[in-house]
Structure 1
Amino acid sequence: MPGLPSWLTEPLWDQFAALLPQRPEFDPAHPLGCHRRRISDRIVFDKLLQVLRCGCFYEAIADSTCSATSIRNRRDEGYVWGCSPG
């Protein structure tokens, strides 16, 4: 599936990224102290733009970079949209 052109997404990402808080690469509260790296906010942003553009299911745009579950979970987290949770 073709993505959106970079001349359109780059300015959107620049404005969006300024709203995001800094997050650790690994979750410090994880009981074992380590786990998989957090998927980049940019990857999730691009996937969410594809969902909005095409109106498709998350499973249709999921690939090796980001699963459908990860996309949905990050969509539901308040800080992803620059808002405080709750």
Structure 2
Amino acid sequence: MATGWAGDTAVQDQIDATVEDAIKRARSRMPSGPGLEHCEECDVPIPEARRKAVPGVRLCVACQQALDEEAAFAGYNRRGSKDSQLR
């Protein structure tokens, strides 16, 4: 489909560039380097397999899971508020 001065693949090129930028940004925020041998929260030894699998790891599995669950808590019921708007 012709779009004036833009090439036929201009839209897809823009989408690809946006996705690549998002991937680069996400990778830059990931921890890197050697991980800790003991959890910084509870001082439990972190297994070598976890340190190899997750570069820059700082927490044991249990502490990381607790942190993830805490971050996932929204604080209110979004579905309930949507249902009440539909009435």
Normalising by structure 1, we get a TM-score of 0.24
Normalising by structure 2, we get a TM-score of 0.23
Which is higher, the Rg of structure 1 or of structure 2? 2
- Select the structure that is richer in helix: 2
Q: Considering Cα pairs closer than 8 Å and 6+ residues apart, tell me whether 1 or 2 has the greater RCO.
A: 1
